[in-house]
Homo-oligomer: A and B are copies of this chain.
Amino acid sequence: MLAFEEKEYRERIRRARARMAAENLDLLLCSNPANMCYLTGYDGWSFYVHQLVMLTANDGDDPVWVGRAMDANAAKVTTFLPHDNIIAYSDDYVQSKTKHPLEFVAGLIRERGMERVKIGVEMDTFYFPARSLLSLQRALPNAEVVDATTLVPWVKVVKSSAELEYMRRAARICEKAMYTAVDSIVEGTRQCDAAAEIFRAQISGTDEFGGDYTAIVPMLPTGEGTNTPHLTWNDGPFRNGEASIIEIAGCYRRYHSPMARTVQLGKPPQRLADAAKVVVEGLENAMAAARPGATAEEVEQAWRSTIERHGIRKESRIGYSTGLNYPPDWGEGTISLRPGDQTELQENMCIHMIPGIWQDDWGVEISECIQITPSGGQPFAEFERGLIVK
């Protein structure tokens, strides 16, 4: 059930260790489920309890998975780790008032004689809450605990050829789900029924390969709700004269290829039709600028200068790195296409370029998930790019 050959995981671990060495880390604790999966293959919906992967700086050590007892079998099935490296805590650590799983982890660190080393933890990851830090520091007062939130995400940011193949499969699923979405948005149909068809298409996938759950559920703001991006659906019907924004992804073995489109039922207001054209023009200019060596802020500037010519302003970032992820986000938390981000793009980075515009009572989103190539950003999916009028 491993998603990749073991040597691919070994290469990821080697690159993570190179970054650990640059920061003098003796030990890395990855609690972000995407980073756990990236380094070991671990894949289960068990991240609602504490779990992590321990990676020492020592090349001879395999990573150690630490989690809840009932999930240890899932680690045996989904990772390449020797079973001795799968270590479970007992169930009374779960949501306990008196003990915390990071105390158990501290015990493992002490057993390995590492109670005085420099430890990287993912301090701004949603899977490392404040109490994890406090428990670890209390149990290991002589360790130096530092932030390594983006260490593995920066290793993840350039995709291998095997990963790119998964991104392409995700894009096939995304295309299918987007066709389904556009077909399902019909006057009088309940929003929930359209969302249901989208989910079905995402999970069923194609005849050749099935889909995985996406790290974000379908976003489906409709009517006035299109003035904000992160509303889902309700029981109400689609209405003639209203627009809906669809932001979805296809997911294949945790790899995401996201896409947004805007659908209008009936004649679109002129401002929406005009804005959609500007968004496409800006998006395409930014995609063309997304070459190896360009910085994230230069790519954003290509968008910004396009829309400024049309008198439109937008303050939020227009894209971010994506790929392997788990809820609540398919973004990787590394590159943001915005002023001040001077990351140099490299070939085979994958970016969701999503220059949405949200006004007081309307909005528009048209996005592409792109691969950075010498000839610019190449979209993974193929889908009519523009306002879709039905």
Contacts and interface: CB of A to CB of B under 8 A. Distances in A.
Contacts of A91: 315-317, 338
A3 to B, nearest CB: 10
Nearest to A97: B150
Contact of A217 (B1, B213, B219, B230): B213
Nearest to A226: B73
A126 B129 contact: yes
A225 B197 CA distance: 28
Interface in A199-222: 199-205, 209-213, 216-217, 219
Interface size class of A (residues with CB under 8 A): 35 or more
Given A328-B47, A328-B327, A129 B134 contact: no
Contacts of A233: 203, 210
Q: How many copies does the complex hold?
A: 2
A46 B77 CA distance: 33
A39 to B, nearest CB: 19
Interface stretch (A53-61, A187-195, A274-282, A367-375): A187-195
A146 to B, nearest CB: 11
B92 A340 contact: yes
A219 B201 CA distance: 18
22 contacts: A43-B231, A44-B230, A44-B231, A45-B219, A45-B328, A70-B228, A70-B316, A70-B356, A71-B230, A74-B231, A77-B225, A77-B228, A128-B129, A129-B130, A130-B130, A130-B132, A130-B133, A190-B210, A192-B205, A196-B199, A196-B202, A327-B327
